[in-house]
Amino acid sequence: MTKCHANSNEVVQEKDSAKDMGEIQTVFQASLLLVGLFGCTGEGACPDPFTLIGGRCIYVNTTGASWDASVIACDAHGANLVIADNQEFLNQLTLHLDNKYMDKCVYITACFWTAGRKKNNSQVFEWKLFRTAKFLDEILQYKSVTEMNNWCSGQPDNWKGKEDCMELNRSNGKFLFNDLLCAHLLCSVCQFDG
């Protein structure tokens, strides 16, 4: 009688090896897909076109747009407008904007839209989120933007009763908050919290 198959231990080992190779191949293909889709290259990396600044993924849109259009532009990248809610982050963001974007934005003073928006008809500004934010717990500590105490002198002033949106405005060597008519065409800073 001729032996038609190997002993059971050899068959099990071959099946295990094939299974392991299949799992490795699946993980490798999934990794390639993630890198292709999100541009991620390692721990703490940001998806393309974002840059890691102060522990957050930031993208600066240098096309002048209204606040509402800037929200849509950030949303197209899966992001919110930036939430400049603490001084350490704002300092790092300022360095980034100074080094890379001072000559690329609409106004000579270099102004950028943020997620700051007036709450209803009050004089209270809040961080307006359109997507769930990674830093939500931290943001809840700063519901009122005025608590950040980073306003330009005399701001917010609601000039002509129509300034409902908040920009980062370059003033005296640093970026400060200013309320502005939402229709102004400014650059914007997007924040991805994926």
The string of pLDDT tens digits covering residues 159-179 is 998 999 999 998 877 889 999
Beta carbons within 10 angstroms of residue 81's beta carbon: 28
Domain shared by 105 and 174, yes or no:
yes
Please say if the pLDDT value at position 51 is more than 60.
yes
CATH code at 88? 3.10.100.10
Q: Own/partner pairs for 151-157, CB < 8 Å, 24+ apart?
A: 151/176, 151/177, 151/178, 152/176, 152/177, 152/178, 155/179, 156/123, 156/125
Domain shared by 30 and 76, yes or no:
no
Are 42 and 156 a contacting pair, CB within 8 Å? no
Please say if the pLDDT value at position 85 is more than 60.
yes
* Average pLDDT rounded to a whole number, residues 17-27: 48
pLDDT band at residue 34, thresholds of 50, 70 and 90?
A: very low
* Average pLDDT rounded to a whole number, residues 122-144: 61
Q: Is 43 contained in some domain? A: no
- Of residues 3 and 172, more confidently modeled: 172
Domain shared by 105 and 147, yes or no:
yes
* Average pLDDT rounded to a whole number, residues 41-69: 88
Average pLDDT, the chain: 75
**Structural domain that includes position 11:** 1-38
Domain shared by 115 and 158, yes or no:
yes
Q: Read off the pTM.
A: 0.70
Q: Is 115 contained in some domain? A: yes
Q: Is 167 contained in some domain? A: yes
Number of folded domains that form the chain: 2
Please say if the pLDDT value at position 74 is more than 70.
yes
* Average pLDDT rounded to a whole number, residues 117-125: 81
